[in-house]
Amino acid sequence: MMSVLEEKEFGKILTSVVRSAREQGNTITGKEVEEAFASLHLNETQMKEIFSYLKSHRIGVDETPDLTADLSGEDKNALQIYLESLTFLPERSEGEKQVYIRRAMNGDKEAQRIVAEIFLPLVPDIAKLYAEQGVFLEDLIGEGNEALMRGVTLLSALEEEDEVESALSQMIMNAMEERIQEDLEAGAKGKKAADLVNEVADRARELADELRHKVSVEELMEESGWTEEKIREAIRLSGDRIEDLDSGEEQRNEG
């Protein structure tokens, strides 16, 4: 059994391992994982659970995962359309790339636009790393594009030209991770709201069947022991559409 401090450390290490794998194309060695968790002295069962978790997040351990194999039809289509659009971009030699990067780092707006074009292929490559995590690939690509456009305006903070690709990749990854987290949180809030509405609606239906009439907020409060605030929150979330519950909103508005 882990202590609270060990659980926090475990979470930090796992986050670091996942991020490291993302930066390496969704792959990591078993040795790297074991070394990362060495300080926690985990047993074989716990390590197996970690490897299973990594696999569920499309991370290959000691192997390179096929990042397109399990994409949905919609995601595959979005990826194909985006990749086809990239074929229309002009090709740049390495020398040209370096010139534009230097100019972009010095604040040249046109050079920044061209540098964004040069590094656009990073976006679908990184988006594939985060696919099948609750956000459509098209939306991940959109977040990546926006992050790239912002990123090229911030290159003056870098000291070396060879830092540019890594810095832009990090910005794209951060944007996609934030979008996934936002959607997860929104989903959790939505589920919580739905659970509350269903709970109140079910209890109102039971009481209405017993009393043989649509119940009032006060009757439901008395029978359930719930606060008025809880019941009215469910009414608000449902748009006052709980069938067996008379919210009294019409009378309140008329008054």
pLDDT at position 99 is: 95
Q: Per residue, what are the HEC states of 80-127?
A: HHHHHHHCCCCCCCHHHHHHHHHHHHCCCHHHHHHHHHHCCCHHHHHH
pLDDT digits (tens, 9 = 90+) for 189-243: 888 888 899 999 999 999 999 999 999 999 999 999 999 999 999 898 888 888 8
Token pair 């074989």 is found at: 44
Domain boundary among 166, 186, 206: 186
Check whether residue 79 and residue 163 sit in a common domain.
yes
Check whether residue 118 and residue 27 sit in a common domain.
no
3-class state of residue 158 by DSSP? coil
pLDDT at position 209 is: 92
Check whether residue 241 and residue 139 sit in a common domain.
no
pLDDT at position 42 is: 86
Check whether residue 182 and residue 192 sit in a common domain.
no
What average pLDDT does range 6-18 have in this prediction?
Answer: 84
Separation of alpha carbons 151 and 255, rounded Å: 56
pLDDT at position 108 is: 94
pLDDT digits (tens, 9 = 90+) for 34-58: 999 898 888 888 898 888 888 877 7
Check whether residue 33 and residue 121 sit in a common domain.
no
Answer yes or no: are the C-beta atoms of 20 and 57 closer than 8 Å. Answer: no
Separation of alpha carbons 130 and 59, rounded Å: 10
Answer yes or no: are the C-beta atoms of 122 and 89 closer than 8 Å. Answer: no
Check whether residue 176 and residue 82 sit in a common domain.
yes
What is the domain range of residue 124?
73-186
Question: Does residue 67 belong to any structural domain of this protein?
Answer: no
What average pLDDT does range 143-159 have in this prediction?
Answer: 93
pLDDT digits (tens, 9 = 90+) for 53-85: 888 777 888 988 777 767 788 888 888 999 999
Domain boundary among 34, 61, 88: 61
Type of residue at 240 = D
What's the angle, vertex CA 212, arms to CA 207 and CA 218, rounded to 5? 50
CATH code for position 146:
1.10.1740
Flag the least confident range among 7-21, 108-122, 216-230: 7-21
At residue 30, does pLDDT exceed 60? yes
Q: Which helix (H) or strand (E) holds 60?
A: strand 60-61
Indicate the number of domains in the chain: 3
Check whether residue 90 and residue 170 sit in a common domain.
yes
Task: Please give the structure tokens belonging to residue 75.
Answer: 């995601």
Check whether residue 107 and residue 162 sit in a common domain.
yes
Check whether residue 93 and residue 159 sit in a common domain.
yes
Check whether residue 47 and residue 27 sit in a common domain.
yes
Check whether residue 80 and residue 130 sit in a common domain.
yes
The closest alpha carbon to 85, from 112, 126, 121, belongs to 121
Separation of alpha carbons 107 and 218, rounded Å: 65
Check whether residue 180 and residue 93 sit in a common domain.
yes
Domain boundary among 40, 61, 82: 61
Question: Does residue 66 belong to any structural domain of this protein?
Answer: no
The predicted model scores a pTM of 0.65
Which contacts qualify for 185-194: CB closer than 8 Å, 24 or more apart?
187/134, 193/237
172: left (phi over 0), alpha (psi -120 to 50) or beta: alpha
Question: Does residue 68 belong to any structural domain of this protein?
Answer: no
Number of H helices, E strands in the chain: 12, 4
Question: Does residue 176 belong to any structural domain of this protein?
Answer: yes
Residue 28 DSSP symbol: E
